[in-house]
């Protein structure tokens, strides 16, 4: 079967660094996305990995190990506006459909 | 403003009624998708379409149907709504017909079935 696991909730302090982990088991792999979703809004992409290693995009970085079925999203210099759900999604199988994890709700405190 | 437009934004519906959620994109993307989002379960794919004239079943297709008569429109129909279809529905699109690349999402349609 297809399975994507990530923690349900995390809390962090403004200005700090937080790492959100994701493990996956899917039939095939063509890429991994991290989406950010504020309450009541549409998800928007924050990071994308196809090959192993670290991808950096401003305050957001994401790491991928395909052999371990593992990724993490790293958020630096946390701001209050980073409070949101972060969704790990794997592109897999026929027609490269995106399979989503249940999401990690991040709360940033002053 | 370019993007994906969904309608209605919110709807309360009696069980047994027929309902169509509309989705229109103006980005000339080839692939389009319908997801439902439920607390604790994340986004689950209902149906997808890689190009106009073709559709496919996702993870949770039962009780739903779609059509793709042209590139821009991808309506989702609930033939006879049931309370378990209470959810937030997101339409999405991606540029390439093979589905690779980023998905762009609409703002969602909140449906309550009583």
Q: What is the DSSP string of A64-98?
A: EETTTTEEEEEE-S--GGG-EEEEEEEEETGGGEE
| Contact check, Cβ <8 Å, B103/A102 | no
* Per-residue tens of pLDDT for chain B, all 114 residues: 569 999 999 999 999 999 999 999 999 999 999 999 998 888 999 999 999 999 999 989 999 999 999 999 999 999 999 999 999 999 999 987 776 778 899 999 999 999
The token pair that represents B68 in the structure block: 């793709």
Tokens found for residue A75: 């958020």
Taking CA–CA distances from A88, the nearest residue in chain B reads: B42
Provide φ and ψ at B67, rounded to 5°: -145, 155
pLDDT band at A93 (very low <50, low <70, confident <90, very high): low
Is the Cβ–Cβ distance between A77 and A31 less than 8 Å? no
Residues of B with CB under 8 A from a CB of A: 31, 33, 35, 40-45, 48, 50, 56, 58-59, 90, 98-100, 102-103, 105-108
Alpha-carbon distance B81 to nearest alpha carbon in chain A (angstroms): 23
Tell which of B105, B106, B110 to mutate to test the A interface (max A CBs under 10 Å).
B105
- Give per-residue burial for A15-45: e unless 16+ CB within 10 Å, then b: eeebebebbbebeebbbbbbbbbeeeebbeb
Give per-residue pLDDT as tens, A3-52. 899 999 999 999 999 999 999 998 888 899 999 999 999 999 999 999 99
């Amino acid at each position: 079967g297809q399975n994507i696991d990530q923690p349900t909730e995390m809390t962090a302090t403004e200005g700090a660094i937080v790492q959100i982990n994701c493990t996956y088991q899917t039939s095939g792999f063509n890429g991994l996305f991290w989406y950010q979703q504020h309450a009541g809004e549409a998800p928007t992409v924050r990071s994308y990995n196809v090959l192993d290693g670290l991808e950096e995009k401003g305050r957001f970085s994401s790491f991928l190990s395909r052999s371990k079925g593992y990724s993490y999203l790293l958020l630096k210099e946390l701001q209050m506006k980073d409070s949101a759900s972060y969704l790990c999604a794997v592109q897999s199988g026929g027609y490269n459909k995106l399979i989503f994890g249940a999401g990690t709700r991040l709360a940033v405190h002053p | 403003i370019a993007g994906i437009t969904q309608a209605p934004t919110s709807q309360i519906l009696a069980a047994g009624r027929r309902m169509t959620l509309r989705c229109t994109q103006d980005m000339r993307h080839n692939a389009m998708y319908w997801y439902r989002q439920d607390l604790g379960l994340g986004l689950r794919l209902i149906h997808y379409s890689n190009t106009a004239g073709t559709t496919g079943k996702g993870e949770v297709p039962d009780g739903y149907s779609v059509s793709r008569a042209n590139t821009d429109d991808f309506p989702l129909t609930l033939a006879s709504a049931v309370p378990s279809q209470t959810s937030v529905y997101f339409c999405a699109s991606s540029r390439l017909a093979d589905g690779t690349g980023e998905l762009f999402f609409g703002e969602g349609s909140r449906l309550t079935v009583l």
